[in-house]
Amino acid sequence: MAEIQIKNIAKNFGSYQALHDINLTIADQEFMVLLGASGCGKSTLLRIIAGLETATTGEVWIGGRRVDHLSPKDRGISMVFQNYAVFPHLTVFENIGFGLRMQKLPDDEVTRRVERTAGLMHIDQLLKRYSGELSGGQRQRVAVARALAMEPDVILMDEPLSNLDALLRLEMRAELKGVLADSKTTAIYVTHDQVEAMSLADRISVMHQGRIVQAATPIEVYRNPAAEFVAGFIGNPPMNFLPATPSGDGKWQVAGQVLDGPTSRSAPLQFAVRPEDIRPADSGLTATAKVVEPLGAHLLVTCEVEGTMFRAVLDSDLTVHVGDQLTLAPQPDRIRWFDPETTLAVA
């Protein structure tokens, strides 16, 4: 059982505040992904949980035990690094067994655990090699096997796949998900790749400028972004935004169209809709096609709606030419509204 609680964590580097009052609870055996652009503080937060960095204020609890004053080795964690950090002077076997040897486990137990985890990561035939003789993908497998062999309560991963080429990344992603689900370990995974986050996570914490903007399941983050930042960050292409002015009684004027919206607000809002939730219709927003990209499965059309860029993912059977006038209707139940002052979602 290893639930992780992060309480009021803040971190300053000199006068720069990298993390602002982070509060997060990660359930036992949950796969949590910290997602954000570079410099958002996600790696710093992970390193604070690992004990490689000390928080300026706040507490870290793992499995009901406060650990923020403990050194990394006493926290019941193990970590996978972006550049693998496989020890070059040791064989693959000794790398995987390194932590077990530090725990002074008997030789036959070390051998058993090394062989088991090496089998899980399909590197059993490489045990006698040195890291200089391995490819990037193999080194990453060694790094994951080394972390798993410790049988930790929590496994922490800092962009573990970002040094691999695209195809290998896809393969390792699926494998990691399977292996970690079987290991019943709580996992925290840092990435800037939203596809990786969506495909791996039980829950995603989207981070921006040292704050967690939203922590929710991948589909919730995708469907109901809590803030404009999340809406613009998640999804490829991201959500479309248009200014909306109130015309009373829950009616909102968007690019000359009147749409149903929140009843509780009277100040202007941002209207938002995903490009894939738009259909050509008889009545709707008037758009001029600027760029047409046939992507095989869909047709990505970048248009202009009252001077604002607006993307639509349409059926690939449609024929659209640059300069065409389109009438596009957003699916009513997929429309979201944001307050331009706070940038937060409005129900």
Partner 1 sequence: MTDAVADLPADTGASRKAGQFLYGASVVLLCAWVIVPLYFLLLNTLSSPEEVNSFPKSFLPHFDLGSLTFFANFQGILRALWNSVLVAAMTMVMSIVIGAPAGYALSRFEFRGKEAFRLLILLTRAFPLPLLALPLAVLFIRTGLDDTAFGLALVHTTLAIPFAVLITFSLFSGIPIELEEAAWTLGCTRFTAFTKVVLPLILPGITASAIFAFVISWNEVFAAAVLTIENRTLPAFLLQTLGEAPLHLKFAGGFILVVPALIFIFAVRKYLFAMWGIANR
Q: Which residues bind partner 1 (CB under 8 A)?
A: 50-52, 71-73, 77-79, 81-83, 85, 87-89, 98-99, 102-103, 143, 146, 150, 156
Shortest gap between Cβ of 287 and partner 1 (angstroms)? 49
Q: What is residue 298's three-state secondary structure? A: strand
Contact between residue 222 and residue 199 where contact means Cβ atoms under 8 Å apart? no
- Partners of 315 in the β-ladder: 298
Query: Could you please report the per-residue DSSP string of 166-210?
Result: HHHHHHHHHHHHHHHHHHT-EEEEEES-HHHHHHH-SEEEEEETT
Shortest gap between Cβ of 10 and partner 1 (angstroms)? 20
71 or 264: CB nearest partner 1: 71
105 or 344: CB nearest partner 1: 105
50 or 221: CB nearest partner 1: 50
59 or 94: CB nearest partner 1: 94
Shortest gap between Cβ of 100 and partner 1 (angstroms)? 9
Shortest gap between Cβ of 117 and partner 1 (angstroms)? 13
101 or 128: CB nearest partner 1: 101
Shortest gap between Cβ of 184 and partner 1 (angstroms)? 20
Contact between residue 4 and residue 188 where contact means Cβ atoms under 8 Å apart? yes
28 or 94: CB nearest partner 1: 94
Of the candidates 214, 155, 226, 238, the residue with the CA atom closest to the CA atom of residue 36:
214
Tokens of 157: 């991963």
Shortest gap between Cβ of 85 and partner 1 (angstroms)? 4
83 or 302: CB nearest partner 1: 83
Of the candidates 112, 107, 132, 106, the residue with the CA atom closest to the CA atom of residue 124:
112
164 or 314: CB nearest partner 1: 164
Shortest gap between Cβ of 132 and partner 1 (angstroms)? 8
Contact between residue 91 and residue 130 where contact means Cβ atoms under 8 Å apart? yes
CA–CA distance, 243 with 247 (Å, rounded to integer):
13
Query: Could you please report the per-residue DSSP string of 254-289?
Result: ETTEEEE--SS--S-EEEEE-GGGEEEEEEEEEEEE
Shortest gap between Cβ of 91 and partner 1 (angstroms)? 13
CA–CA distance, 31 with 189 (Å, rounded to integer):
8
Of the candidates 272, 190, 188, the residue with the CA atom closest to the CA atom of residue 228:
272
